[in-house]
Amino acid sequence: MAAIEMTRPVANRPLARLMERLVAWNEARATRVALSRLSDRELEDIGLERGDISTIAYSR
């Protein structure tokens, strides 16, 4: 998974907020995709159901 590290001060706060939202959206998307690829049995093993995927992915 790729990540953007924003350790330097950013003069343009709206741009920084946009980047943070973009990174959060991408992490949620990647989580949703990874969980969606699991079988129902694998989801059950980790205590989830298929209907929980969106809630888990966006609960950050």
Q: What is the DSSP letter of 58?
A: T
Place of tokens 């205590």: 47
Q: Would you say 50 and 40 are in contact if contact means Cβ atoms under 8 Å apart?
A: yes
- Residue 58: band (very low, low, confident or very high) from pLDDT cuts 50, 70, 90: confident
What percent of the chain is modeled with pLDDT above 70? 80
pLDDT at residue 4 in the model:
64
In this prediction, residue 29 carries a pLDDT of 94
Please, are residues 17 and 35 in contact by the beta-carbon 8 Å criterion?
no
pLDDT in tens, 19-44: 999 999 999 999 999 999 999 999 99
pLDDT class of 7 with cuts at 50, 70, 90 = low
